[in-house]
Structure 1
Amino acid sequence: MRRRAQERDAELGRAVERARQGDEAAFTTAYRIVHPPLLNFLRGLVGDDAEDVASDAWLEIARDIGRFRGDGAGFRAWTAQIARHRAVDHLRRVGSRPRGSLLEVDLTGLPSRQDTEQEVLESVSTRAALALIARLPRRQAEAVLLQTVIGLDGPAAARVLGTRQGAVRSAAHRGLRRLERELAELRAGGSVTDSDRRALGGAR
């Protein structure tokens, strides 16, 4: 996902620059590039309410795009930050976390900077990987999702989360190690509930 996102950053940057000048067609182009991974990211945070939260985020993006300064990669980070803020607001209102996510994105072919990430995400089906990610503590899940779904690098993910790059790297590492342990437990037939087995039914 990170590589694919980066490949489209030049096109995205050009569209955003025109959109800042009021070009509606260019804004539509930017939306079509950014929205699918952004929606998937929100599904990882708020579950079935992702569409509503995304709508709120895009209203804010459309309102403030004239103030945005940056390239395509910067726009991806900026929109992710807005979406995350709207997701946090939503979760505060409903007073709970989502019970799971149904992200529709192929994680199995992601370029990896860590052996653990590659082993975990390439060893299970997409549905199983996403079900496992949904079980992580929120900060760990956010770090993994920002880098694998939105395609942000470490510094950009740190800006979105308002923390240090080292903290994001640590959270992602802990999350991936936890995914590895849960996958090992699943394969060993450990303490996994019947509902977990159904959710993780795609594990190979």
Structure 2
Amino acid sequence: MDVETSRALLSRAIARVANRDDDALKYVYRHTSAKLFGVVLRILHDREEAEDVLQDVYLTVWNKAGRFDPEKASPITWLVAMARNRAIDRLRARGSRVMAGVDEAEAVPDSAPLASTLVETDEEKARLDGCIDGLEPKHASAVRTAFFEGLTYDALAQAVGVPLGTMKSWIRRALISLRACLEA
């Protein structure tokens, strides 16, 4: 099955979930749970907690599927963003802080799929990479670390050695630039 067909089927299934279709939710779960679990586990580093967060994600899908707009994002992008946000919320709730520096992350083996593999087509990936590469290097690095590696803004600010407000400003400006670049 090609990417466009898969995306269309998943979009239709999410639309059916909005109408409380149990079978549609099962379809969405069957086709996305492994990927979403990998994202959540990579952020939380705790299998049991990742399973709990994943359950919360699908409960949210059940309750908020009507908010999904296939014109704004692909279904997997919408789901990954939701899973990532839930995992980061869980980190914040338990008061976790990243103790190791960003430089040490490269040496840690990880069998989970990279976030970059979540970008559904080569064309989208190339376009996104081009837009990120057009950012100031420190902003590009912050965006990649926050969104592709799951580091919280606070942990990223500590790792880079800048105030939290500065990190938030960098990422906000970078996201505004990315939006403009991707919409062009």
So what's the TM-score if we normalise by structure 2? 0.53
Distance 1:90 1:62, change over 3 A: same
Deviation of the 1:70 alpha carbon: 0.9
Distance 1:58 1:33, change over 3 A: same
Where does residue 17 of structure 2 map in the other structure?
19
1:112-191 to structure 2, matched below 5 A, reads 131-133=108-110, 145-148=114-117, 150-152=118-120, 153-154=124-125, 165-166=132-133, 170-171=140-141
1: CA distance, partners of 2:96 / 2:27: 34
CA contact (8 A) 2:16 2:24 kept: yes
1: CA distance, partners of 2:98 / 2:110: 12
Deviation of the 1:63 alpha carbon: 0.8
Deviation of the 1:66 alpha carbon: 1.4
Instruction: State whether structure 2 residue 61 is matched by structure 1 residue 33.
Output: no
2: CA distance, partners of 1:39 / 1:7: 23
2: CA distance, partners of 1:58 / 1:157: 27
Distance 1:23 1:83, change over 3 A: same
1: CA distance, partners of 2:42 / 2:86: 13
CA contact (8 A) 1:54 1:83 kept: yes
Deviation of the 1:170 alpha carbon: 4.2
1: CA distance, partners of 2:2 / 2:94: 34
2: CA distance, partners of 1:156 / 1:80: 19
Residue by residue over 1:30-67, the C-alpha shift from the partner in whole angstroms, topping out at 9 and shown as x without a partner, is 11111110001111111112111111222212110012
CA contact (8 A) 1:155 1:165 kept: no
Residue by residue over 1:122-157, the C-alpha shift from the partner in whole angstroms, topping out at 9 and shown as x without a partner, is xxxxxxx994359xxxxxx9xx83222x34544998
2: CA distance, partners of 1:54 / 1:95: 19
Unaligned runs of 5+ in 1: 100-128, 135-140, 159-163, 176-204
1:80-119 to structure 2, matched below 5 A, reads 80-96=80-96
So what's the TM-score if we normalise by structure 1? 0.49
User: % of aligned pairs identical?
Assistant: 29
1: CA distance, partners of 2:42 / 2:97: 10
CA contact (8 A) 2:17 2:25 kept: yes
CA contact (8 A) 1:146 1:157 kept: no
CA contact (8 A) 1:45 1:98 kept: no
1: CA distance, partners of 2:93 / 2:24: 34
CA contact (8 A) 1:157 1:165 kept: yes
2: CA distance, partners of 1:62 / 1:156: 32
Where does residue 59 of structure 2 map in the other structure?
59
What amino acid is aligned across from residue 6 of structure 2 in structure 1?
R
